[in-house]
Amino acid sequence: MYKYDGLLVHQTQDDKGIIEVVDTKGIRALHFGSSSRQSTMILDDPEQIHSLYAKAMMGLLMFNDSPEDILMIGLGGGTIAKYLLHQFSQCKIKVVEYRTSVLKVAYSHFDLPFNPRLKIKIGCGGDYVSQQSKNTDEKHDVMIVDAYDHEGMVLEVSSEKFFDNCRTLLKDDGLLAINLWGTNKDLFKEVAWNMGRVFEWKILFLPVRKRGNIIGFAFRENAPKYTIKQLREKAKQLEQRYQIDFPVFVRDLKRNNNSLLKIISP
């Protein structure tokens, strides 16, 4: 078993492996049997968002600052779902989580609330979007894909078919945000290519500073368009509201997407 620096407060195992919860200096972390942290929570402020990659995922608010209907693939500790429920009182969230054991830990150790606006389904995210894409009555403003196991990104959520199904489930002005692992360069290139083809290259990539994560954003054809100036102004407003460094996100988006920004800007 991996030797953590902090206090191991919970450990369980299912047919997919070990699930551990570790407290270190006021931060609670979810691990899948390795040093990689799947979710983190500030013990004294559990509704606040903590991890750098989760904050970067909230970069989606620059493009939709009032989401009402969100589909999430992957729950982890539930910190992103919990944060969105707390910040947006009208928002409904549906989550597809593969492991029942992970859901139980989210409730028992990460303060995931029982909330009528939160619906959780146990199952494979890839299978779910494939099945639901045949039912065009259900459309979402935003999709968030954050599906990892102890080895890295789950391959079922990286194929061109998966992104095609996601596109079908989005409203025509909707957007997708996905947590990618940039250090696996071959897989990252494959996923970026698949996203680009499906979303007609209306995509952006936001590297997470000091981490290997890269957050990908993909936009349907009628998603609102912004100039860099408009994004900077929006970022300042969001920073004051949520205490997340959105202006840094704009700088990093511009630095890493010079040609792509021309595609989504008016």
Distances in whole angstroms, Cα of residue 45 to Cα of each of 57, 76, 251: 19, 18, 28
Residue 35 pLDDT grade (very low, low, confident, very high; cuts 50, 70, 90): confident
Q: Is position 27 within any domain?
A: no
pLDDT at 1 over 50: no
- Domain of residue 130, CATH code: 3.40.50.150
Helices (H), the chain: 52-57, 79-87, 100-109, 125-132, 160-169, 185-198, 228-242, 246-256, 258-264
**Amino acid sitting at position 100:** T
Would you say residue 92 lies in a domain?
yes
**Short-list 33, 7, 198, 184, CA closest to 99:** 33
Identify whether 245 is part of a domain. Answer: yes
Phi/psi at 264 (nearest 5 deg)? -90, -10
Token couple for 120: 């959780």
Residue 73 structural domain: 46-264
Q: How far apart are alpha carbons 76 and 153 in whole angstroms?
A: 13
**Domain for residue 148, yes or no?**
yes
Predicted local distance difference test score (pLDDT) of residue 36: 82
Three-class SS state of 126? helix
pLDDT in tens, 120-165: 999 999 999 999 999 777 899 999 999 865 555 666 778 899 999 9
Taking a C-beta distance cutoff of 8 angstroms, is the pair 234, 198 a contact? Answer: no
Domain membership of residue 19 (yes or no) is no
**Percentage of the chain modeled with pLDDT above 70:** 92
Q: In the predicted model, is pLDDT for residue 49 greater than 90?
A: yes
**Any idea which of 3-7, 149-153, 218-222, 244-248 has the lowest mean pLDDT?**
149-153
Tell me: the pLDDT tens digits for 72-117? 999 999 999 999 999 999 999 999 999 999 999 999 999 999 999 9
Q: What would the pLDDT profile of 165-189 be if each residue is shown by its tens digit?
A: 999 999 999 999 999 876 678 888 8
Q: What CA–CA distance (Å, rounded) separates 131 from 45?
A: 38
- The answer to whether residue 219 sits within a structural domain is yes
**What pTM value is reported for the model?**
0.93
Residue 260 has pLDDT above 80, yes or no: no
Residue 22 lies in a domain: no
Query: Does 183 map to a domain?
Result: yes
The whole-angstrom distance between residue 242's C-alpha and the CA centroid of its chain comes to 17
Contact of 206 with 214, CB cutoff 8 Å: yes
In 3D, which of 87, 96, 97, 89 has the Cα closest to residue 19?
Answer: 97
Bridge partners, residue 22, by sequence: 8, 29
The secondary structure of 149-183 as a DSSP string is ETTEE-GGGSSHHHHHHHHHHEEEEEEEEEEEETT
How many C-beta atoms surround the C-beta of residue 35 within 10 A? 11
Q: Smallest Cα–Cα separation from 61: which of 250, 251, 213?
A: 250
- Counting the structural domains of the chain, the total is 1
Conformation bin of residue 15: beta by default, left when phi > 0, alpha when psi is -120 to 50: alpha
